Amino acid sequence: MQQFISVEDVPSVPRIVGTALDYKKDPFKDKGLGANKTLGMIFLNPSLRTRLSTQVAAKNLGMEAIVFNIDKEGWALEMNDGAIMSGNTTEHVKEAAAVMGQYFDILSIRTFPGLKDKEEDYTEKYINQFIRYAGVPVVSLESATLHPLQSLTDVITIKERWQQPRKPKVVMTWAPHVRALPQAVPNSFAQWMNAWDEVDFVITHPEGYELDPKFSGQAPVIHDQRKALEGADFVYVKNWSSYKDYGKITCTDQSWMVSNETLKNTNNAQVMHCLPVRRNVVIADEVLDGPQSIVIPEAGNRVWAAQAVLSEILKHR
Ligand code: CP
């Protein structure tokens, strides 16, 4: 694997899930793989899970991780080729990414969308410019439109918790939020569910919240949350802003919040969320504090996902 930006970079989803679950059983079995190697972790946006789990994963492989909060500590970067840099940007990504490529064996980066210009966000200009100029493998720590480390984690979490011969029914439900959020997590979750093909995957959201079809694929979309959740084995809860009315909040209907009542007609579904989650806005306390919530072990699995990805890249360097 040369980079990790989306599921399309992964030769086999079942194989990388197996690698991750092997690391969960024996975290230090490849302690020497990353010896004398350095991972650069570049953040333009806040993070708790992605930052810490990836650092732990690198450490488990004997690799050093260096974090750079470029939004606070770095020069303002120019992303546009041919720009006349007479404004606020100080350094072009051509130099910045290339220089970081001199220091690190793998470069990882988190860059959220602006949610103002759909085309700009969906061309993934920022991460693509780093891929173009860094000269070393690039790992997404969440980009404008995708969050593959989270989605790999989610596949791992479903895989380890489902032992029955039939496919589980996995329903991704939109839930309310007070702020306009990116579509990266739901796009990515849909993309991985479709590529994995070991689940019956259904999406439910209010009218107007359709995702980019390139990610949602052929998954049935049901606008009645109650109907969609019938018989669900896993409920994946996430807010996102509108793709159609780009970056806007067009529904504030609090009845979409996931509560015990919402889960009544599921198959005692296990409830997932990538975190952070706003309690009693997105998911009720009674669910997050109850037996159906698996959000903490899900977040724990972030380490094994990151370790599997880093190891795949290190093995092929
Ligand atoms: N789920 C997730 O990516 O968490 P952080 O934003 O805290 O990294």
Annotated binding-site positions for carbamoyl phosphate: 47-50, 75, 110, 147-150, 274-275, 302
* DSSP letter (8 states) at residue 161: H
SS3 content of the chain, % helix, strand, coil (to 5): 40, 15, 45
150 pocket-lining for ligand 1 (C-beta < 6 Å): yes
Alpha carbon separation from 106 to 94, 252, 301 (Å, rounded): 17, 41, 21
Span 216-228, average pLDDT: 98
Span 253-273, average pLDDT: 98
Q: State yes or no: pLDDT of 72 exceeds 90.
A: yes
Q: How far is the CA of 83 from the centre of ligand 1 (A)?
A: 33
205 pocket-lining for ligand 1 (C-beta < 6 Å): no
Q: How far is the CA of 214 from the centre of ligand 1 (A)?
A: 24
What's the pLDDT score for residue 317? 78
Q: For residues 195 and 186, what is the distance between their CA atoms, to the nearest angstrom?
A: 14
The CA-based angle 27-22-216, given to 5 degrees, is 115
Q: How far is the CA of 47 from the centre of ligand 1 (A)?
A: 5
Mutate-to-test residue for ligand 1 from 110, 274, 298, highest number of ligand atoms within 8 A of CB: 274
List the end-to-end C-alpha distance of the chain, in Å, as a whole number: 9
**Whether the complex's predicted ipTM surpasses the cut of 0.95:** yes
- Give the position, in ligand 1's atom list, of the atom nearest the Cα of 299: 1
Alpha helices in 206-277 (DSSP H): 213-216, 225-229
Q: How far is the CA of 26 from the centre of ligand 1 (A)?
A: 24
**For the chain, where do the domains classified as CATH 3.40.50.1370 start and end?**
7-146+302-314, 150-299
- What are φ and ψ of residue 65, in 5° steps? -115, 130
pTM score of the predicted model:
0.98
CATH code of the domain made up of 7-146+302-314: 3.40.50.1370
In this prediction, residue 196 has a pLDDT band, given cuts at 50, 70 and 90, of very high
Q: State yes or no: pLDDT of 275 exceeds 90.
A: yes
Show the tokens assigned to 200. 């019956």
Q: For residues 300 and 317, what is the distance between their CA atoms, to the nearest angstrom?
A: 27
Residue-wise pLDDT for 3-31, tens only, equals 999 999 999 999 999 999 999 999 999 99
What's the pLDDT score for residue 212? 96
Average pLDDT, the chain: 97
Residue-wise pLDDT for 113-153, tens only, equals 999 999 999 999 999 999 999 999 999 999 999 999 999 99
50 pocket-lining for ligand 1 (C-beta < 6 Å): yes
Span 227-239, average pLDDT: 98
Q: Is CATH 3.40.50.150 what the domain over 150-299 is classified as, yes or no? A: no
